[in-house]
Structure 1
């Protein structure tokens, strides 16, 4: 039965806002919020299971929402019609086609990663703090079609709405895992994956490295770089030579430069 909500004080709306705003609630409930048609379709394509859809019938076709509700689930997601006033209170953006979904979250363990090639290319980011940077890294990874993204020592949960928004849904198009630096180093060694750490010390220019074998490109933060554990376990440290006055650049930009050099070596036509 279709439910209708006309007040932002409704308990379901308050719970939705809690999921949007509080990582603790997302972890406790194992659920997260997606806003927008494009992001919803990418999540469904990535086999995420929907639980609820809040929608404004004047902004999105009801039959389309019905189709969304049946995907990746044995029991169709609950459909909740809301008015424009309620939508304006819970939506971050005005251009998201009148749909907000609650989805079941996943665990992102290293052992869940699946590689379909003996020479996977991985992008690893250690302790990224800003959701915008994480989102940009995920967009870079999607553009290059890397085999997986791994977040070491994460500072925020992956289902933070700002990560979903800044990644424009690429959180759902990438294979992602999280873990401590020690766990990830052990995992890479067990998989015989070369570790190329972006660092100033004992480095070679990034374009002099052969990335055609199984490779992990490891990026640190602009402020602190990588921890010593990465530098001690690196196959080779790498650097992007720069001609200006500064010695660092945005992590997603740097990752893109190195990742696309690896893709070029692997036969990707730039």
Structure 2
């Protein structure tokens, strides 16, 4: 059954706006917003539970909404909303006219289980910019990494800007979060070599063997890796550069390092 909502003052619309704008509400309610058909489809494929779907019939017909939902999502509440309401809630100016509310997953590293005996993992320490996090998740998806760990996250991973910038790859990756110490403990527990992208005591990245269990760790462009990680790496690695500056965008650097590891592992695309 579907219902119509025509007022911006409707309590459900007010709640959606809070989910969109406030991290504390997303954490408290364990809910978040997904915008767009592709992103919603990827979330469903990633075993996320959709509880509500809001669509604007002047943008997307109901037949497409029906096709979007899998049989497992038959309990989803459907709401038809006006163009004014949709434009108030949507992040993108060019979008498909549909929003979903989904239940957050527990991403704590304490509850994470590795499925691979020879994992390749990306660790991002203290990332702040949603755009960078989204780009890292897209790279991880392209390389089909076994996991992405976010150490000391500065924003919750269900921030709408992360979902948008990752083009839904937040749902295609195995993600865990925790303190740097907790993530290091996890990596050491499973005898995973830790390669830190850092200039201190580093060697050129292509000289190392990434065919064994490997974690590639990147820090922020401003401060790099913390001492906690620098004291725990198997080896620090660097990307040789010929320009004036000695750093590059974190997602670009991560891509270079990850695909070198994939090349060594026989990745052909």
The SS at the match of 1:207 is helix
The Cα of 1:247 is off from its aligned counterpart by 0.6
Q: Distance in 2 between matches of 1:111 and 1:69?
A: 32
Contact 2:37 2:68 in 1 (8 A): no
Paired position in structure 2 for 1:179? 178
Q: Distance in 1 between matches of 2:144 and 2:235?
A: 23
Q: Distance in 1 between matches of 2:183 and 2:113?
A: 15
TM-score by structure 1 length?
0.96
> Kindly tell me: are residues 191 and 225 of structure 1, through their superposed partners in 2, closer, same or farther at Cα, counting changes over 3 Å?
same
The Cα of 1:32 is off from its aligned counterpart by 0.1
Q: Distance in 2 between matches of 1:93 and 1:220?
A: 29
The SS at the match of 2:169 is coil
Paired position in structure 2 for 1:140? 139
The SS at the match of 2:53 is strand
**Structure 1 ranges of 4+ moved more than 6 A:** none
Q: Distance in 1 between matches of 2:186 and 2:212?
A: 16
The SS at the match of 1:3 is strand
The Cα of 1:7 is off from its aligned counterpart by 1.5
Question: Which structure 1 residue ranges, 5 or more long, are not aligned?
Answer: none
Paired position in structure 1 for 2:218? 219
The SS at the match of 1:233 is coil
The Cα of 1:83 is off from its aligned counterpart by 1.6
TM-score by structure 2 length?
0.96
Contact 1:205 1:241 in 2 (8 A): yes
The Cα of 1:116 is off from its aligned counterpart by 3.1
Task: Say what the alpha-carbon RMSD is for the aligned residues.
Answer: 1.3
The Cα of 1:110 is off from its aligned counterpart by 1.8
Paired position in structure 1 for 2:86? 87
Moved more, 112-121 or 155-164: 112-121
